């Protein structure tokens, strides 16, 4: 084996990600999605693969490069999948009797179809598709569904807006809503079950196939349609709907027990955006509810029924994912506690498969059963064998709030006794959690270390994974309070003797971008900073974001009630004090934190004669550095490293 090399920004395109593991009903096989960025095509190649749950060589199932969402039929003889091989994403089925069979297109919906869910008897597939009132009327009348690009574009000229948000992700809303359909798995015309101007979510079937359960907003036409939802029971034959909750919660991870007795889901009060999600159990016969993670005091995701008596759930705690068994009787026990981030989960016939990221490897599938633990994929082995990968070191330190957890990576080529520049990284949210196994930052942090930096990040108050009180401790005063924790971490790193106090830089995105601007407006020790997709003016943020409730509940204030309160807590109000050279990175289709935030900060600093540069990326949105166009992701990292280097050498 040759000498290992330093990772480069261009290695972004060499990293393979394995996602969406789906265990076959008998637990013998695992279908999954394999995805890889392409710098040449500036997109992502996504294909379906199959591997034996006991281990072995994976087999590629599809080759279009545009396939995802594999779902086994109840008898294990077919896969449903979503493919955009012919343009719009549509539902296909793939026979599994002989690997490599031809996929059969099942839907030809005018606006595409996603989220296939098999009925318990395998005769039908429920799915989601978007359409507007006129298209629904044509569909109901049996008229052919057609629309030209000209017809689609004229809807936006002018755009009539009567709700908030009118845009999210990277898309300006048209008048189409996500509806629930059922189609015969053998083929034939789909049947739409829903009729309201509301967005429905991927359903679950009752075990007898008579009902489906989904979520949508109760107040049709209301703002922030995902924030105030109810669970609805829908009759599979008639489409009749019955609400099961009050419609005041954000709901996700809806799943039904094998015996049909319980619905399990995660929920959060729609007006308490700092709260952890509660894992709730709803008994369908009685309507009784209970919370399963109250004693854990940790957020829960990826709910999967292990049996009629227990759920498997991923619990985020102190920078890692722990797999728990949550009994319907309220008992909770640890099933898997390893240093990893669990990104998705499947279980069948005693086999549990997770998509896992670690500090050493950004993505692999791991299986657990009575025989133990085994890696099912080794998609990144060749790349990792050629690279120097720097492990993380945990550090706990004291801040004015209390003990805070952080991590650091030593630079490649580290020599004991020498000091190195510090690259401070700040996470978004603020109710998010970072740890050394964070897949979305693996490549970036390793590139920082390869460039000679000590890489440091921490979870200041407000972060998930430390309890509900810790989540709420940041409310109403982001900048001042989080800065106390973050800078206490910087001081702790200086105390290790690893860091050169005269060569420190920082970056962060979203809330991290807010904090980057806030810190350099209140501390002049950093030599360069990169603020990404940040909030800089809390007053205008409320009027331009797709999540205005978040903006008001995080500060318990509406802009028209106390303008000065929000202004003094905005980095822009303190921008005149910024002396640190600042690079601002933002995407033009960022509807979470609108481009005007970056424009304001850049214009103010430029007109004041500060050292500032503004890099705008077209087409991408708030997730640009994590899932945006590969060329944009590469260029963003290159700009960051070049900016730091230029100002550290002055």
Give the C-alpha separation, 340 to 361, whole Å: 10
Average pLDDT over residues 605-615: 98
Q: Give every CB contact of residue 501 below 8 A, 6+ residues apart in sequence.
A: 494, 525
**What pLDDT, on a 0 to 100 scale, did the predictor assign at position 153?**
59
Q: Is the dihedral of CA 64, 65, 69, 71 positive or negative?
A: positive
Q: Is the pLDDT of residue 100 over 90?
A: no
Confidence of residue 90 (pLDDT cuts 50, 70, 90): very high
Q: What is the pLDDT of residues 321-334, one digit of tens each?
A: 999 999 999 999 99
Contact (Cβ atoms closer than 8 angstroms) between residue 313 and residue 300: yes
Q: What is the pLDDT of residues 539-554, one digit of tens each?
A: 999 999 999 999 999 9
**What pLDDT, on a 0 to 100 scale, did the predictor assign at position 154?**
63
**What pLDDT, on a 0 to 100 scale, did the predictor assign at position 299?**
94
Q: Is 181 left (phi over 0), alpha (psi -120 to 50) or beta?
A: beta
Number of helical (H) and strand (E) elements in the chain, helices listed first:
13, 38
384: tokens are: 């990792």
**What pLDDT, on a 0 to 100 scale, did the predictor assign at position 147?**
58
What are the residues facing 256 on neighbouring strands? 263
Q: Is the pLDDT of residue 359 over 60?
A: yes
Q: Is 100 left (phi over 0), alpha (psi -120 to 50) or beta?
A: left
The 10 Å CB-count burial string (b at 16+, else e) for 344-370 is bbbbbeebbbbbbbbbbbbbbbbbbbe
Confidence of residue 98 (pLDDT cuts 50, 70, 90): low
Please tell me whether residue 648 adopts helix, strand or coil conformation: helix
The residue whose two tokens read 């793939």 is 94
Whole-number CA gyration radius for the chain = 25
By CB atoms closer than 10 A (0-12, 13-18, 19+), residue 511 is buried
Give the C-alpha separation, 288 to 290, whole Å: 7
Average pLDDT over residues 124-133: 95
Q: How far is CA 182 from the centre of its chain?
A: 28
Catalytic residue among 510, 570, 587, 636: 510
Please tell me whether residue 336 adopts helix, strand or coil conformation: strand
Q: What is the pLDDT of residues 457-481, one digit of tens each?
A: 999 999 999 999 999 999 889 999 9
**What pLDDT, on a 0 to 100 scale, did the predictor assign at position 310?**
98
Average pLDDT over residues 373-394: 98
Give the C-alpha separation, 549 to 565, whole Å: 17
The 10 Å CB-count burial string (b at 16+, else e) for 453-489 is bbbbbbbbbbbbbbebebbbbbbeebbebbbebbbbb
Q: How far is CA 292 from the centre of its chain?
A: 23
pTM > 0.85: yes or no: yes
Contact (Cβ atoms closer than 8 angstroms) between residue 583 and residue 615: yes
Confidence of residue 169 (pLDDT cuts 50, 70, 90): confident
Q: Is the pLDDT of residue 1 over 80?
A: no
Per-chain mean pLDDT for the chain: 95
**CATH number for the domain formed by residue range(s) 393-648:** 3.40.50.1820
Confidence of residue 173 (pLDDT cuts 50, 70, 90): confident
Active site residue 38: no
Domain boundaries, given as residue ranges, for the chain:
393-648
Catalytic residue among 173, 427, 586, 622: 622
* DSSP secondary structure code for residue 103 in this structure: P
Instruction: Name the phi and psi angles at 111, rounded to 5.
Output: -110, 15
Q: What is the pLDDT of residues 207-246, one digit of tens each?
A: 999 999 999 998 887 888 888 899 999 999 999 999 999 8
Active site residue 179: no
Average pLDDT over residues 361-380: 97
The residue whose two tokens read 């972060």 is 463
Average pLDDT over residues 291-304: 96
635: tokens are: 């260029």
Q: What is the pLDDT of residues 401-444, one digit of tens each?
A: 999 999 999 999 999 999 999 999 999 999 999 999 999 999 99
Q: What is the pLDDT of residues 510-550, one digit of tens each?
A: 999 999 999 999 999 999 999 999 999 999 999 999 999 99
Query: What percentage of the chain carries pLDDT values higher than 90?
Result: 89
């Amino acid at each position: 084996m040759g000498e290992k090399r330093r990772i480069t920004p261009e290695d972004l395109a060499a990293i393979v990600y394995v996602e969406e593991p789906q265990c076959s009903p008998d637990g013998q096989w695992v279908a999954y999605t394999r995805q890889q960025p392409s710098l040449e095509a500036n997109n992502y190649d996504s294909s379906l693969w199959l591997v034996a749950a006991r281990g072995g060589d994976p087999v590629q199932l599809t080759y279009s490069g545009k396939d995802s969402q594999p779902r086994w039929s109840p008898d294990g003889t077919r896969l449903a999948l979503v493919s955009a091989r012919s343009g719009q994403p549509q539902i296909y089925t793939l026979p599994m009797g002989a690997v490599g069979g031809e996929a059969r297109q099942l839907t030809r919906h005018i606006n595409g179809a996603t989220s296939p869910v098999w009925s318990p008897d395998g005769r039908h597939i429920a799915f989601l598709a978007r359409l507007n009132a006129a298209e629904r009327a044509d569909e109901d009348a049996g008229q052919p569904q057609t629309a030209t690009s000209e017809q689609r574009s004229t809807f936006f000229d002018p755009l009539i807006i009567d709700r908030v948000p009118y845009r999210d992700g990277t898309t300006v809303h048209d008048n189409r809503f996500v509806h629930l359909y059922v189609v015969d798995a053998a083929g034939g015309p789909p049947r739409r079950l829903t009729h309201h101007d509301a967005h429905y979510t991927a359903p679950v079937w009752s075990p007898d196939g008579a009902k489906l359960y989904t979520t949508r907003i109760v107040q049709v036409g209301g703002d922030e349609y995902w924030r105030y939802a109810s669970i609805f029971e829908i009759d599979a034959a008639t489409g009749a709907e019955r609400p099961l909750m009050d419609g005041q919660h954000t709901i996700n991870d809806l799943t039904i027990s094998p015996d049909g007795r319980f619905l399990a889901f995660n929920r959060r009060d729609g007006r308490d955006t700092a709260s952890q999600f509660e894992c709730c159990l709803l008994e369908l016969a009685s309507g009784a509810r209970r919370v399963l993670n109250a004693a854990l005091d940790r957020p829960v995701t990826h709910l999967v029924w292990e049996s009629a008596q227990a759920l498997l759930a991923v619990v985020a705690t102190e920078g890692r994912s722990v797999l728990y068994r949550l009994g319907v009787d309220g008992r909770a026990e640890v099933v898997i506690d390893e240093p990893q981030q669990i990104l998705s989960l499947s279980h069948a016939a005693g086999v549990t498969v997770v998509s896992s990221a670690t500090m050493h490897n950004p993505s692999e599938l791991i299986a657990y059963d009575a025989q133990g633990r085994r890696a099912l994929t080794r998609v990144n082995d060749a790349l990792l064998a050629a690279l120097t990968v720097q492990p993380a070191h945990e550090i706990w330190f004291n801040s004015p709030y209390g003990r805070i957890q952080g991590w650091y990576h030593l630079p490649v080529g580290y020599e004991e006794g020498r000091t190195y520049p510090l690259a401070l990284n700040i996470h978004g949210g603020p109710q998010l959690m970072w740890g050394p196994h964070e897949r979305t930052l693996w490549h970036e942090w390793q590139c920082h270390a390869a460039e000679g930096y000590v890489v440091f990040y921490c979870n200041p108050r407000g972060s998930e994974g430390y309890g509900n009180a810790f989540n709420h401790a940041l409310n109403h005063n982001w900048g001042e309070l989080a800065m106390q924790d973050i800078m206490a971490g910087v001081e702790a790193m200086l105390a290790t003797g690893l860091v050169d106090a005269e060569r420190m830089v920082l970056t962060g995105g979203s809330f991290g971008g807010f904090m980057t601007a806030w810190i350099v407006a209140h501390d002049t020790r950093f030599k360069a900073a990169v603020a990404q997709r940040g909030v800089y003016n809390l007053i205008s943020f409320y009027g331009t974001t797709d999540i205005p409730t978040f903006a008001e509940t995080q500060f318990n204030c509406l802009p028209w009630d106390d303008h000065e309160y929000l202004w003094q807590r905005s980095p822009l109000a303190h921008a005149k004090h910024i002396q640190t050279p600042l690079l601002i990175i933002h995407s033009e289709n960022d509807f979470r934190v609108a481009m005007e935030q970056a424009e304001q900060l850049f214009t103010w600093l430029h007109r004041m004669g500060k050292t500032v540069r503004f890099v705008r990326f077209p087409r991408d949105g708030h997730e640009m550095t994590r899932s945006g166009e590969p060329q944009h992701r590469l260029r963003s990292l290159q700009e960051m490293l070049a900016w730091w280097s230029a100002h550290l050498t002055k």
